[in-house]
Amino acid sequence: MAWEDRTPFGAIEHSYGLDETGVIKLMRQELKPSSFRLWRKRVSNRATKHETKRSFEVGRAYCKTQYKQR
């Protein structure tokens, strides 16, 4: 969820109990240093990662091939 750009930190906190600081610490531990730097650069000041900055019109990305067909 943290890797995906449109998932807000609030949704991660609601699902897993990790606030933004906790997510950053977890990503720092789990990613290679170069991947972590790229991720931080990408999500820093990104409006879609913060629910208060996110406008209502922004929807979630959906990829039909991502999920198994039922």
Spacing of C-alpha 4 from chain mean position: 5
Return the biggest CA–CA distance within the chain: 38
Domain limits, the chain = 1-70
Handedness of CA 26, 57, 62, 42 (dihedral sign): negative
Digitized pLDDT (tens) for each residue of the chain, 70 residues in all: 888 877 888 888 888 899 989 999 999 999 999 999 999 988 887 766 666 655 555 555 555 665 666 5
Gap between the Cα atoms of 39 and 1, Å rounded: 12
Phi/psi of residue 64, each to 5°? -65, -20
Cβ-defined contacts of 20-27 (< 8 Å, 24+): 26/2, 27/2
